Amino acid sequence: MPLKYALFTLFVCFIWGVNFVVMKVGLAQLDPFLFGLSRFVIVLVFLLPWLKIVPGAMVKLFYLGMLIGGVQFALVFIGMDMTDHVSAMSVIVQMNVPITLLLAHFILHERMNYWRTGGVFIAFCGVIIITLEPDILEEGVVVLIILLATTFYSIGVILLRKIKEVPVFQTQAWVAFYSVPVFLCMTLYFEKGQIDQVMNLDMTGISMVLYTSLLSTIVGYGGVNFLLRRYPVTLISPFMVSVPIFATISAVIFLNETLSVKFFIGSIVTLSGLGLIHFRDWQLKRKNKVLIA
């Protein structure tokens, strides 16, 4: 991979890492469901030209919109609103990789080899170590909420693999389309004072909503799609391990988070497990290329 594309991949990871802090800051001014509604309304407006009927895929796009849109992000925003440990949650979110592998093993009957199994086990051990930190242990409910959100996302990823023919912006447009009414109903039922919250948004709050809508969603997902059209997943995936690193640095700088030794140990263990999974996939891909050649 040329240096310019490697740097662009890191830039996308940086956007997604900082987005954890962005969500936390934005949620200080907007209730979780209202924040989600604002996010997806903006995404839908910008991606409206891609909102076109896809014959044979509309039911799958509806389920996808519920899984990685309305349901998943509702849980994420609730969890991020409740937590005081953004850095820890950013590591736990990365569990989507082993969870996806486990679901693919049982749902799609994709066999897991010893390397992947070992990587999954190590990653889960790391999360347990992080969770056993006393301050984070008090947020056990938040950890469960984030893990549940990650599970819904992983199910959505498996479904996404069955609709590869739909371009990423078109997929994101329909995810936003189906997410807007979900968040609208939830904010109207569970929250109040929406108009006052929106009218009282300062430039920081507006910037946070725009960041998570335009940069994280459109630039982030669009950038990854751009890269995946040129390079294999096994080459792009290892870069994603840097997302919680950027999130942690951002949390320390902007939220004054204090990192414990147990957090560092748990993060290193988790990222090592994810790295093992990615490295093995890269090895197998390289081996297959050699055999084909």
Note the pLDDT tens digit of each residue in 229-279: 666 555 666 677 778 888 888 888 888 888 777 777 877 887 777 777 666
pLDDT digits (tens, 9 = 90+) for 43-102: 999 999 999 998 888 888 898 888 888 899 999 999 999 988 888 888 788 777 777 777
Amino acid of residue 223: G
Kindly tell me the burial class for residue 46, based on how many C-beta atoms sit within 10 Å of its own C-beta (0-12, 13-18, 19 or more). middle
Half-sphere exposure of 40 (CA within 13 A, CB side): 28
Integer angstrom CA distances of residue 163 from 65, 219, 220, 245, 260 = 13, 21, 20, 31, 42
pLDDT at residue number 86: 86
Structure tokens at 279: 């490295």
The per-residue pLDDT for range 170-205, each reduced to its tens digit, is 888 999 999 999 999 999 999 999 999 999 999 999
Residue where the block lists tokens 């999130």: 247
